[in-house]
Amino acid sequence: MFNKWKRFLLPLFIISAIGIVFIYKQLGEEKPKVVVVLRGFDLEYWEFIKAGAEKGFEDLGIDGKVVAPKTETVEAQRDLLESVLKENPDVLIVSPIYSADNINSELEKFKKKDIPVLFIYADDNWKYKKAYIGIDNLDLGKKAGILIASQLQPGDKVALLSGKQLLIDGQRIKGVKGSLEAVGIEIATEKKGLPDNNPKVVRAEIESILREHPDIKGVVASSDYIALPVLEVLQEQGIEMPVIGSSGIPEMLELVKEGIVSSTVAQNPYDMGYISVQTALKVKKGERVNPYIDSGVDIITKGNAKERLDFLNSLLQ
C-alpha cells in the first residue's frame, strides 16, 4: 500500500515543486522597477539618500537602482533621464537640478508613457508629479534663524550665505530672515549662488565679508558645505561666533559633538531615500499618497550629536 501511494505522491510532489519554482520566478519578474535619479554623488549627502533608497529596495522587494549624472549639470541630468526612460521603470524618483523647468521635456516623456514621477529633496510646481518627499525649506530656515538668534542679542548683525539651488536656498534664507527680523537681529549682508562643492570660493567670500563687515556676530549658511569653510576661516583668524548650517553631515556633527559648534540644524537624507521608495511602491499599487511627505528636520546639540554621527558613519563603511 505504501509503495502504491509512493508512486502516486512522487510525481505529484515533482509537479508541485515545479509549480512553486515557476511561481517564484514569476514573482521575481514582477518586482516593481524603481529608478532614483539624483543630482550627483560628489557630496556625502547624496550617498545617505542612496543608502536609504537601497535599504528600501531590499526591505520591500523592489528591483531598484540609484543613479546620478557624472557632472552636476542640467544637460547631464537630461541625458541620464533619456537613458532611464528607455528602461521603462514602473516609477521614477528624481531630484531636479536647479528647477524642474530644466528637465520638463524629459519628464513629459515619462508622463506620456504613464510612468509616475516623484520628486525627492527638491520640490517644484510640475503639475504631474505624484508626490514630493523632502523637507519644508521655509520651516528649516525658520529653525536655523531661531537657533542663531538664541545665541545673539537684539541689534547684533549676521551674514547670510546661500547656494545655487535657488528655490531651495531661497526658501531657507527667507525663513531665516523671518526669524531674525522678529527678534531685532540685523542682516549685514547676504551672498547668493555659492557652490556647495567648492570651499575655496566660500572661503574667499567669508574673508571678504569679514573685512567689509567686521562687526558681524554670526553666520547662517543654507548648507553645511557652505558653513564648514566659514568655520575654518573663523578658526584660522581666531574669531568666535555662531555659525549655523542646515544639512547635518558627519563633519558638522563631529564639531557639535566636540563642542566647537554649539548646535546645528540637520536633515534626514537616509529617511528621505527610504520614504521615497515606500511611496513609489504605494503609487505602483495604485494607492493614494500624500502629495507632500516631510522627511523631517532636527536640532542637533552635543547631547544627541554622537548618536546621529555614529549612524551616518555606519552608512559610509
pLDDT digits (tens, 9 = 90+) for 5-62: 434 444 444 444 444 444 444 444 589 999 999 999 999 999 999 999 999 999 999 9
Confidence at residue 253, expressed as pLDDT on a 0 to 100 scale: 97
**119's grid cell:** 520628486
**How is 233-263 classified by DSSP, letter by letter?**
HHHHTT----EE-SS--HHHHHHHHTTSS-E
Claim: this prediction has a pTM higher than 0.85? yes
**182's grid cell:** 522678529
pLDDT (tens digit, 9 = 90+) per residue, 84-95? Answer: 999 999 999 999
Q: In whole angstroms, how large is the CA radius of gyration of the chain? A: 24
Number of residues that make up the chain: 317
**120's grid cell:** 525627492
Q: What is the mean pLDDT of the segment spanning 55-70?
A: 97
Confidence at residue 317, expressed as pLDDT on a 0 to 100 scale: 80
Amino acid at 188: A
Cell 539624483: give the residue.
38
Using pLDDT thresholds of 50, 70 and 90, give the confidence band for residue 294: very high
Q: Minimum mean pLDDT among 7-16, 185-194, 242-251, 253-262: which range?
A: 7-16
Using pLDDT thresholds of 50, 70 and 90, give the confidence band for residue 99: confident
| CA 50 – CA 174 distance, rounded (Å) | 29
Residues 277/116, Cβ–Cβ less than 8 Å:
no
- C-alpha distances in Å from residue 48, one per residue of 64, 211, 247, 270, 298: 16, 37, 11, 5, 16
Confidence at residue 61, expressed as pLDDT on a 0 to 100 scale: 97
pLDDT (tens digit, 9 = 90+) per residue, 204-214? Answer: 999 999 999 99
Q: What is the mean pLDDT of the segment spanning 101-125?
A: 94
| CA 126 – CA 117 distance, rounded (Å) | 10
Query: Residue 191 pairs with which residues in a beta bridge?
Result: 161
Confidence at residue 29, expressed as pLDDT on a 0 to 100 scale: 56
Q: Determine which helix (DSSP H) or strand (DSSP E) holds 172, and give its type and residue range.
A: helix 166-182
pLDDT (tens digit, 9 = 90+) per residue, 140-184? Answer: 999 999 999 999 999 999 999 999 887 899 999 999 999 999 999
Residue-averaged pLDDT of the chain: 91
Confidence at residue 167, expressed as pLDDT on a 0 to 100 scale: 82
